[in-house]
Amino acid sequence: MSTTLNRRSFLRAALLTGGGLVLHFNWPSAHAAAATTDTPAAESAVLNSYIKIAENGSITLFNPNPEFGQNVKTSLPMLLAEELDANWEDVAVEQADFFPERFARQFTGGSRSVGSAWIPLRNAGATARYMLMAAAAKQWNVPVEEITTKDSVIHHKNSGKSIAYGAIASAASAIPVPDKVKLKDPKYFHIIGTSKKNVEIDNLLTGKPLFTSDYKVEGMLIAMIVHPPAFGLEVKAVDDTEARKMPGVRDVFTIDVFNADYAPNAFDTLTFNRLVVVTGDTIWQVMQAKKRLKVTWQTAAATEYSVGAFVKDEKAVRPVGLESTADHYAQMAQYAQQAGIVKRRDGNPEEAFKSAARILERTYTAPYLVHNTMEPVSCFAHVMADKAEFYAPIQAPEFITGTLSARLGLPKEKIAIKLARMGGGFGLRAYGHHLVEAAVISKQVAGPIKLVYTREDEATYGIYRPTYSATYRAAFDKDNKLLALHVKAGGIPESPLSENRFPAGAIDNYLAESWQIASNITIGAFRAPRSNFMAAAEQSFLDELAAELGEDPIDYRLALLRRAKDNPVGKSNDYDAARYIEVIELARDQSNWGTKKAGVGRGFSAYFCHNTYAAEVVDMVIENGEPRVKSVVAAVDCGIVVNKDAAINMAEGALIDGIGNALFGEQLFEDGVPQKSNFNNYRIIRMNEIPKHIDVHFVDNGKAPTGMGEPLFPPMFAAIANGIFSLTGKRVYKQPFLKHMEA
């Protein structure tokens, strides 16, 4: 496989200070679709990343993607090492700071890190390898075609000569960058597809300073915020008399996170614009001072503003009022009965429903969810007259830089962001409000500060997974044949509908409608956004549909998918039916689906998102009067698995996270007040509740890698719902399932 290298892809090779080779190469958008080996480099690409091969033989990759536990700092260097034919022990990776002039799209999210790096990093490794080989061939006066490499050593079989990469690296820096390189055939991979331990494991196990909480500079103050206790309220007045008397307190003041005329971008959040800030010497002192504040609140006005989304500006409305969960569910039930916005119509579904002998209708709902990252939000900031410095856990630094520039009145190039390792992300840290807050506070105190959220601050601040509802209707004729399917889905304040996903394309008469309700409760990306609900509703309804037709749940899905494969309806179906079939069959076979055990309920679910196909089978039992997932068998088609250990770890994490959220996850509101603020009242899965056995199997199809961090999360909700039915004979339509089983 050969790839032509545009000169803007590999701009130059240079001599490393002290000897060695440094190769600058293009790293494309982390949002780009998975590339193929003949994809040309983007003409607009800029110099943005590089490899170093030192004379001592060490190989370093500067990694632009922020790390929050998904192991990109190990998996990405594996791509480089493979095409370099490097000895894995010689490879190291360093986290790059935010550097837009060098790195494009320093974004971790959407399960795209490995997929977007698949071609560029392999190109980089293959190019560096060729230049090393060419330098050795020139030195030995032999044809480069006779040169081979293995484990960071260059060999010439005919003469018996060999030389280590480091010893020839300086000479390689003078070799012209080739116009074309040949990439390895996957059958010759010896690093990709193996298991490599996390390159940071020693730092993690020995407590090395990697997180924002570890970061300190001379003269740094601690800052904490107080935000309104309810969505729909704002600060009216502050009595800080008692708080200022507390030991270690330096100042108390209010800030406006954004200026009044600012138009936010897609990853800005306007949850509470005016905040009360306490600064002091230590976290404990500031926490105690917060308790002495006396703040009065007033109703916030309704607002309308523009949000810069990925493709176009969108209008957003924040209504006035104090919202409650009971009212939300009543509103959603009302909208479910009204006509929605038609997103897809195949055939004549309206006529099919009119002529139906019988109609099956079911509505599914899900609550707001809190991210509950291991590490609460924090940020270091030092804003000076002519520049600003940050040390922050942030998934999308490029998006927040424009916001900081506008708020501080500084050019973007004067804003430096060091990327801290994140103690969890799940979408929460795509939003950079904490950087803006820290920046405004630092500017106010004219010095360095570290902003620290408590768990309660984070759980009650917003950026939740939205609350959703979906109503499915199926029309049957007198012979119990399926005539039509209708889905109407919406939420507060966004709709989760993906109208072109399965079972669209498999049913002649199909209708998909969408709706949404405005809210002043702030929402944001949550692991597998929107898919995390639609998979639950869709796959639960398909199970019930199969039961109505007297068919096995897996056989019924396969029959629909074979229709979509052989004779698809419509041209906008966003899934590959053949790949979908293969992953379902793998889960069926590996779980021995047809077997039954006394006292064990079995549930199945499958879903496609983030370019990955996942199918899951759960075995469930009743323990202490509650349903418990005893074991999970998961099948995944994510293309080539780069690091099997990392992929299995991500799969297990997503599955366990799905179990916990499906059974327990819920944020409630009364008059705008979040009812759950910490783990004493926000239930998450516990260690003794995780499955005793999790088996993960990968489809081996040799295709380019796709996502792994998110796709296994959505199917788990329906797998559990269907398992509960198998176990108890009772369908559950509302999340969290455990609560509504007891109702």
Q: Answer for the pair 431, 524: CB distance below 8 angstroms, yes or no.
A: yes
Q: How confident is the model at residue 528 (pLDDT cuts 50, 70, 90)?
A: very high
Does residue 242 register a pLDDT over 70? yes
Does residue 529 register a pLDDT over 70? yes
Structure-token match 């996942």, residue found:
614
In this prediction, residue 275 carries a pLDDT of: 98
Provide CB contacts within 8 A for 516, sequence distance 6+: 490, 491, 492, 493, 494, 495
Alpha carbon distance 271, 255 (integer Å): 14
**CA 309, 311, 313, 315 torsion: positive or negative?**
negative
132: its two tokens:
């090393």
Q: How confident is the model at residue 556 (pLDDT cuts 50, 70, 90)?
A: very high
In this prediction, residue 25 carries a pLDDT of: 53
Average the pLDDT over 247-264 and give the result.
93
Average the pLDDT over 699-716 and give the result.
95
Mean pLDDT of the chain: 89
Average the pLDDT over 24-48 and give the result.
33
Q: How confident is the model at residue 106 (pLDDT cuts 50, 70, 90)?
A: low
503 preceded by a cis bond (ω within 30 of 0): yes
In this prediction, residue 270 carries a pLDDT of: 82
Q: How confident is the model at residue 17 (pLDDT cuts 50, 70, 90)?
A: low
In this prediction, residue 13 carries a pLDDT of: 56
> 202-211, 291-300, 572-581, 641-650 — which is least confidently predicted?
202-211
First to last CA, the chain: 59
In this prediction, residue 9 carries a pLDDT of: 43
Does residue 603 register a pLDDT over 70? yes
| Strand (E) or helix (H) holding 220 | none
pLDDT in tens, 189-232: 999 999 999 888 888 899 998 899 999 999 999 999 999 999 99
pLDDT in tens, 127-151: 889 999 999 999 999 999 999 999 9
Does residue 469 register a pLDDT over 90? yes
Determine what percent of the chain is predicted with pLDDT higher than 70.
90
Q: Answer for the pair 575, 501: CB distance below 8 angstroms, yes or no.
A: yes
In this prediction, residue 595 carries a pLDDT of: 92
- Tallying the residues shown for the chain, one arrives at 743
Q: How many CB atoms lie under 10 A from the CB of residue 453?
A: 19
In this prediction, residue 180 carries a pLDDT of: 85
Average the pLDDT over 485-510 and give the result.
97
Does residue 551 register a pLDDT over 50? yes
| pTM: predicted TM-score of the whole model, two decimal places | 0.91
In this prediction, residue 77 carries a pLDDT of: 87
Q: How confident is the model at residue 53 (pLDDT cuts 50, 70, 90)?
A: confident
Does residue 264 register a pLDDT over 60? yes
Average the pLDDT over 644-670 and give the result.
96
Average the pLDDT over 612-623 and give the result.
97
Q: How many CB atoms lie under 10 A from the CB of residue 636?
A: 28
pLDDT in tens, 293-311: 999 999 999 887 776 655 5
> 15-24, 93-102, 180-189, 206-215 — which is least confidently predicted?
15-24
Structure-token match 């501080």, residue found:
408
In this prediction, residue 127 carries a pLDDT of: 87
Average the pLDDT over 584-600 and give the result.
96
Which of these, 270, 275, 298, 266, lies nearest to 109 by C-alpha position? 266
Average the pLDDT over 336-343 and give the result.
96
In this prediction, residue 55 carries a pLDDT of: 83
Q: How many CB atoms lie under 10 A from the CB of residue 549?
A: 14
pLDDT in tens, 386-417: 999 999 998 888 789 989 999 999 999 999 99
In this prediction, residue 20 carries a pLDDT of: 64
Alpha carbon distance 212, 374 (integer Å): 13
Does residue 21 register a pLDDT over 80? no
> 68-77, 492-501, 550-559 — which is least confidently predicted?
68-77
Q: Answer for the pair 342, 505: CB distance below 8 angstroms, yes or no.
A: no
Q: What is the set of domains in the chain, with CATH numbers?
A: 2-205 (3.30.365.10), 212-303+377-452 (3.30.365.10), 339-369+464-742 (3.30.365.10)
